[in-house]
Amino acid sequence: MNLPQGFLLSGIHCGIKRRKPDLGLIYLKDFSQAVGFFTSNANPSYSVTVSKNNINNPIKAVLVNSGNANCFSHNKGLKDSEEIITRLAKQLKVNKKNILFASTGVIGKTLPKNKIIKSLGHLLNNLGSDVYSFASSIMTTDTAKKISLREVGPVKILGFAKGAGMICPNMATMLGFVLTDAKLERSFLKQCAKEAVEESFNSISIDGCTSTNDTVFILSSAKVALKKNQLNAFKKGLKEVCLELAKLIVKDGEGATKFIELKIKGAKTSQEAKQAGLALANSVLFKCAIYGEDANCGRIISALGQAGIKVGEDIYIKATSLKKREIVITVDLKRGKASWDFYTSDLTPQYVNLNAKYS
């Protein structure tokens, strides 16, 4: 799989996990402009804090660790994070403000900074075009790598994501990285990115839990020019990459046996339609019913009402076979003309067992 021009990737094992890859790097041959989206959780990880401070600068590299959330572990956590990116910046001969940082894993455990710092040379020496080593390095409870690619004329859009549990909009316990070589105005890239994230990563929920680490970076190396008549195609391609990654996250949901597409119609506004989708996606009773293949429409009515969405007796609900792995449920609220698509999974005993032993 060819990378967008201007990027190199690396993924290695540095010792955070026992055997699996746990340290990744996205490297820019020059610099990139970056757009970032971060968790709305009031207790963010140190990595999120670092990246929020740096996101508006030209970016040379993105460092990613898995197996440790780098969050609420000790008073020097933020200082340690700054030291790690300072060491990387020194090796790259740039300012620490040109480095982004993302982490995922268990909250409350001290990040082994010395293991990471000692592995930076190996990480840089391993740079190349192997997308799979990087995709592996960012995984935690994921059972499969999550990669998506689209081409728009000469431009490539390549995306990676991780996430399987603690998933809820704004953002989710997920990391997302989208790389493109398209040369774009920053304002246009931000607009495209915001729309793509809202319709994908912010339209999924596995368990209603918003993590401390949620991050999506969209990076452009600006190596390939697009014609004006290709801009809409780029926007469409970016949305497709983000949506494919978001769906892969839900399909890989911890313990999930069903992928559920909620097609909400007949809402007063798009926001109300999205709110309705979220209400169903986060309803424990609804998700248990889907796991049990029980067509209990009362749980839909109840969840909508709890969200403050009053519906009449003429509400329309239709579902494809609940026995299948992938299910589409259409809900027409009969309140207006707005619609939204939302994605979720069922809730199973395996989810409980996995998260009862996660630490």
**Structure confidence by residue, pLDDT tens digits, 106-150:** 999 999 999 999 999 999 999 999 999 999 999 998 999 999 999
Whole-angstrom distance, CA of residue 101 vs CA of residue 58: 14
329 - beta bridge partners?
262, 319
* pTM for the predicted model, two decimal places: 0.95
CA 258, 134, 106, 194 dihedral sign is negative
pLDDT at 91: 98
CA 319/CA 294 separation, integer angstroms: 11
Q: What is the DSSP letter of 228?
A: G
Indicate where the chain has its CATH 3.10.20.340 domain(s). 259-355
Other Cβ atoms within 10 Å of 307 Cβ, number: 17
**CATH, domain range 7-251:** 3.60.70.12
Q: Pairing between strand 175-183 and 215-225? A: parallel
Tokens at residue 89, please?
Answer: 């910046």
Is 39 within 8 Å of 215 (Cβ atoms)? yes
For position 171, what pLDDT does the model report? Answer: 47
Token code pair at residue 301: 């009515």
**Catalytic residue annotation:** 173
CATH number of 259-355: 3.10.20.340
Residue spans of the chain under pLDDT 50: 171-172
**Residue intervals in the chain for CATH 3.60.70.12:** 7-251
CB atoms within 10 A of CB 94: 18
> What are the structure tokens assigned to 319, written together?
């579902």
Spatial separation of the C-alpha atoms in residues 44 and 277, rounded to whole Å: 26
* Cα-based angle 32, 172, 289 (whole degrees, multiple of 5): 145
